[in-house]
Structure 1
């Protein structure tokens, strides 16, 4: 009863709003007045009333003390913060300031009156009274502010926003709860969940620890029985929560239609704006990856890129654009953007102009299949380092358009690689894919053939280093499964997965790009890597069906109940699982975290060039079956469906192709 009465009194207190400058001046006036009253009261208690009326020296000392307070308090920044956020740190500052004033006043009183008119008890009394007089109003003001908001938050008749549970009894939770109390908007925090037994039955700013995550069903049932608003959000206040624990938490919250969010790392983000609420951030699918994210030292890459002319093909794609952004950070002397899509080229060029205005950029809309255009570009600009990311990467589309896929992925790579060699580039880096390992589709086979061509060039000369970097899927890339799932989820489902057992390797685009750059720098300083393929450590493969389930759960919905997941069957050329190494390749360590070598067979460069001319002739004639069969001759492990041949197959020159291992003489 008394508590509710006190809440009504606090809620009824409404202070007029004043400008910030006016409030700060009012604080200075308050502190000066309290200082005057504190020393006056202490002197009166020590001397009595009669001497106060007759001895003018007492009033001189009172004036000196008040003046010292006015001069000293600003050095301790007593009014630099808002009273509504007063805390123990402010009380500590007050104690320091008052102590300093007392010692300064004691010294000055001995110089003026030799301490004759200053009772010793007056100093002690002044010290206590002044601390209470300065700190008490500040804390009372904060209590009034928070008490008024708390009463409104706890009023069931007042419509609030989301009912929120906080997970983790942490410093971040403390900041979030206090911020929510102050702002009085957005969320209504109804409880805290924490796994540690020592935190049971504890509370934080009036918000109680209700139990562990396992107690969530009981907490929800209890609220339903009391006809309280359902919990709609679970906010994670532990910035160091592992990915696996985060994934489990999302899975347990989803059956109750609770959206899981997490607080930004408030302690690392700097000072929080006292007038703005702390906004929990949605959890991304990248947050749920259980793989270890490798952050590598890029000093070697800096030696390769700083002050050089760098060309990036496919510069507007998912990987290419991130490569461009990270390369720009190394301040190359010239950044050459090669992109077939006009819009993608415009988008990345505009972003570079905004983020890196000091970097010289040349943008060219060129198809890598046009050898003459590529040669003219390299003759004109003479790039020193080339990153080749242009490719057709969507398996079903390439299966339906094999000629375009082979011409882009294989002949396009040949065109750019030959130009890099002819015009004196120091390094050429090809971006490859795990689908090149034991390929079952044209896309993978064309990339494996392109890998073989770069390997053969790397071993056949010493003028240009040719490096190949192989890795799996990246989250969020154009045409990948995650954007498809997000589109399907926005339409209300269903989410389509080809097979319940299909798995893929995944990493984030920035991480994959960092590793590509690091592999390039490492390759330039490691002569022993000639003819080898860099393979990125992709961690463990992830079930696509599990990705779909987690994406649904992140939206606060239930897989197979609120949103259906349909299995459509494997598509043409698609495998259940991908591999990073074939059975014929030897895996070797690079000595660098996140990078490995694949030592595979290498074809004779002259023989391979003649075979590529045969492929080119088949493409120019529009003979799909012959082009695919030629590809199969170059990549004998290519296990694909048979294409109907439109014309009798011409025999490849010097078939079958001879092979040689890295570092060994070529077979003639």
Structure 2
């Protein structure tokens, strides 16, 4: 019966409401007569015809006041106000009609009738609302909202009207809100969370703290770490205010909240110095760091942004995104998407000269440690010679500032990727001594969240797939920073460079990757499967350090570090080489790359002042393949040997002249 009523069309439901109200009013009059009159039958015969005359006026009043447009399940103060106004108008009409026909002393009757009509017509609607509300919420997930402030109340209201979650309680740090009731829900203290979760069968905790600092959110998340239910957050206040997200668009806990690191507002003077009204070029513009640099740069209104990228798809994607972003910002920035390889100096120089580039951010690099270990010649060619070619092109084109995006893996490197980035730093330091027109500087930082190869999206995907989570070593630690913060600090550091400077970003506290994995599992409402919890959900497997991988990273080689004008940027005085020494090293390195002499490349980098200490055997796949092939040929000589070109005919790595 109930399902049939709920499935009726709107006009049929309104008709039933009108009939029900006529019935409620009639019932209320009958009861009022029998309660207040000494001779009920006689009084009923006298007053009932007049009452029937007033009913159409009452129904008309209900209609005009919008009572029949209200949905019972969401009925609120307006609908109850309409009932009250309709009943009062009906009571006044009855009083006037009784006076017109000469019926006296019926004030008590009208008063009791009005009260009964209000209780039946309005009260039963509330009862129906409660019944339908409970029925509607029966299938929804029961959630606890952490934060009973404005955002928490808005979230609760939105969820009550939604289809997925049903808030059952609040908790808040504010002692003045505790033990109160908001939207019919009790407000408890954080210490009561475990008890509330158990007693109210809560399946999820929602953090409504969009304005809280990351440090405070980290404290809250640590306190919720042991609860066996997922934790989600509402969007940040800026996303809510600008309309890009709604209060009830819940998100997984962001990794930056787990790190508890609050960004420092950028210094506008430093952000503008190398960008505003200048022609800026970003190499590797389609990569994770390069693309974020581009997003930051267009906000500070360069006259032109040159996007230099080797990948056609990456270049197309960032160009389309930036075009839309520029239109949204309402700024006048010309975009120039250029396909090219940084190892081709002539191409890079032609681009810089054609557009009169003034500032270069060199983000083009191979940065995935194991892949560079497997492809040593290409890794060195791209990271070292690519940087050299781009730097020489910048000098020839009269570029004012050239900023290299370096890495913490360049400090006492144990892998080819880090060593190649340290060599790239040495190249720029050497060039700074050879000339003084183009200012070269380098900025080192650690892992950025969400970049290609970052563990965070990998862990999330592995958790969603049921595990296991793969961690290389139980003791491995890393520094982390968000991509936007890293890009802002790179731009500001570049503005402080005088020539040959090495800048180091304050990365905060290092994070143990195994602890990060466990916390991500817990915050998604799951349990780590281990010896203490054999029935857990997600297992963490330790796969062993990959080729060239360190247990921990450093940001400084020596102890000579200076503070700068920015609290999160330090300047380091590192060992360098004269250009004469550097050019000889590059000549030898180029010769070995031309000959694909992997062992000699590794030996040369080790002997250079890079601090390189290769932590694993040479893992180059092609070099290993050549050795295997040679052994097979020795055992089973073929009648037809492959013919190799002499070294002189092998295309050379493009040299910077």
- Does the 8 A contact of 1:502 with 1:576 survive in 2? yes
C-alpha contact (below 8 Å) 2:419/2:610 kept by paired residues = no
Residue 542 (structure 2) pairs with residue 567 (structure 1)? yes
User: Are residue 548 (structure 1) and residue 522 (structure 2) matched?
Assistant: no
Shift of 1:194: 3.1
Q: Displacement of 1:451 after TM fit?
A: 0.7
| Matched residue, 1:657 | none
Contact 1:340/1:367 (<8 A) preserved: yes
Residue from 179, 183, 187 that aligns with 1:201: 179
Task: Specify whether residues 405 and 202 from structure 1 end up closer, same or farther in structure 2 by C-alpha distance, changes over 3 A only.
Answer: same
Distance 2:410 2:164 in 1: 50
For the Cα contact (< 8 Å) 1:177–1:189, is it kept in 2?
yes
- Check conservation: 2:489, 2:505, Cα contact below 8 A: yes
Q: Please point out which of 141, 152, 155 is paired with 2:132.
A: 152
- In structure 2, do the counterparts of structure 1 residues 450 and 145 end up closer, same or farther at CA, with 3 Å as the change threshold? farther
Paired position in structure 1 for 2:151: 172
Structure 1 residue 171 displacement after superposition:
2.7
Describe the shift of the 1:143–1:475 C-alpha distance in structure 2 as closer, same or farther (beyond 3 A).
farther
The C-alpha deviation readout for 1:579-605, integer Å capped at 9, x for no partner, is 1111x3511111322110010112101
Inter-partner Cα distance in structure 1 for 2:197 and 2:408 = 46
Looking at structure 1, the residues matched to 351 and 249 of structure 2 have their Cα atoms a distance apart, in angstroms, of: 49
1:522/1:294 Cα in 2 relative to 1: closer, same or farther (>3 Å)? Answer: same
Please say which of residues 450-459 and 354-363 is displaced more in the overlay. Answer: 354-363
TM-score by length of 1: 0.69
- Number of the residue aligned with 2:633: none
Q: Where in structure 2 are the equivalents of 1:485-496 lying within 5 Å?
A: 485-496=459-470
Q: Which residue of 2 aligns with 1:375?
A: 349
Shift of 1:623: 0.6
Structure 1 unaligned spans of 5+ = 1-10, 19-82, 91-140, 224-229, 524-528, 648-668
Structure 1 position 612 matched with structure 2 position 581:
no
Does the 8 A contact of 1:253 with 1:259 survive in 2?
no
Does residue 520 in structure 1 map to residue 494 in structure 2? yes
Q: Alignment partner for residue 290 of structure 2, among 298, 317, 320?
A: 320
Which of residues 158, 161, 166 in structure 2 aligns to 1:188?
Answer: 166
Q: CA deviation at 1:551?
A: 2.1
Q: Distance in 2 between matches of 1:85 and 1:304?
A: 58
CA distance in 2, matches of 1:379, 1:335: 14
Equivalent residues in 2 for 1:342-421, closer than 5 Å:
342-357=312-327, 358-421=332-395
Give distance in 2, aligned partners of 1:512 and 1:309.
Answer: 21
Does structure 1 retain, via aligned residues, the 8 Å contact 2:477–2:510? yes
Residue by residue, what CA displacement relative to the aligned partner does 1:232-271 show, whole Å, maximum 9, x if unpaired? 2211223344545534544554655422122345699449
Q: What are the within-5 Å matches in structure 2 for residues 585-664 of structure 1?
A: 585-640=559-614, 641=616, 643=618
CA contact 2:315–2:339 (8 Å) conserved in 1: yes
Partners of 1:175 and 1:455 lie apart in 2 by: 55
Structure 1 residues 460 and 351: CA distance shift in structure 2, 3 A: same
Q: Distance in 2 between matches of 1:449 and 1:272?
A: 46
Distance 1:185 1:143 in 2: 26
Q: How many residues align?
A: 503
Please tell me whether residue 236 in structure 1 is matched to residue 211 in structure 2.
Answer: no
Q: Aligned partners of 2:358 and 2:162: how far apart in 1?
A: 58
Secondary structure of the corresponding residue to residue 204 of structure 2: strand
Q: 3-state DSSP class of the match of 2:565? A: coil
Give the whole-Å Cα distance in 1 for the aligned partners of 2:514 and 2:348: 42
* Distance in 2 (alpha carbons) for counterparts of 1:283 and 1:514: 23
Q: How much has 1:546 moved relative to structure 2?
A: 1.8
Q: Secondary structure at the match of 2:337?
A: strand
Instruction: Map Cα deviations across residues 304-358 of structure 1 (whole Å, 9 max, x no partner).
Output: 2122221111010000001111112222222211111111111111112222254
The answer to whether structure 1 residue 580 and structure 2 residue 555 are counterparts is yes
Q: Structure 1 residues 253 and 153, CA, compared in 2 at 3 Å: closer, same or farther? A: farther
Asked if the contact 1:431/1:468 (under 8 Å) is kept, the reply is: yes
- Bigger mean CA deviation after superposition, 356-365 or 477-486: 356-365
Task: Note the C-alpha offset of 1:160.
Answer: 3.0
Deviation, 1:520, is 1.6
Distance in 2 between residues matched to 1:279 and 1:643, nearest whole Å: 49
Query: Which of the numbers 402, 408, 413 marks the counterpart of 1:434?
Result: 408
- Aligned equivalents of 1:176 and 1:605: distance in 2? 62
Name the CA distance, whole Å, in 2 between partners of 1:469 and 1:173: 41
Deviation at 1:149, TM superposition (A): 4.6
User: In the aligned structure 2, how far is the partner of 1:314 from the partner of 1:400?
Assistant: 21
Equivalent-residue separation in structure 1 for 2:513 and 2:523 (angstroms) = 15
| CA shift in 2, pair 1:217/1:458, >3 Å | same
Partners of 1:585 and 1:601 within 8 A in 2: no
Alignment of 1:490-509 (within 5 A): 490-509=464-483
Deviations 1:183-203, CA, capped at 9 Å, x for gaps: 254321111223455544321
Cα separation, 2, equivalents of 1:602 and 1:277: 53
TM-score using structure 2 length: 0.70
Structure 2 unmatched runs, 5+: 1-5, 14-73, 82-120, 530-535, 628-657
User: By how many angstroms is 1:532 displaced?
Assistant: 2.3
Q: Secondary structure at the match of 2:261?
A: coil
Aligned 8 A contact 1:250 1:550 in 2:
no
CA distance in 2, matches of 1:601, 1:508: 29
Indicate which of 396, 401, 426 corresponds to 1:452.
426
Rate the CA distance shift 1:84–1:217 in 2: closer, same or farther, 3 A: closer
Superposed CA RMSD: 3.3
Deviations 1:407-437 (A, max 9, x none): 1111110000010011100110000000000
Alignment of 1:56-67 (within 5 A): none
Contact 1:254 1:558 in 2 (8 A): no
Q: Is the 8 A contact 2:281 2:360 kept in 1?
A: yes
User: Distance between the aligned counterparts of 2:236 and 2:547, measured in 1?
Assistant: 45
Following the alignment from structure 1 to structure 2, what is the Cα–Cα distance between the partners of residues 257 and 438? 42
- Is 464-473 or 544-553 further displaced after alignment? 544-553
- The secondary structure found in structure 1 opposite 2:360 is strand
Report the equivalent of 1:222: 199
CA–CA separation in structure 1 for the residues paired with 2:238 and 2:350: 53
Structure 1 segments of 4+ aligned residues over 6 angstroms from their partners: 14-18, 83-87, 141-147, 644-647
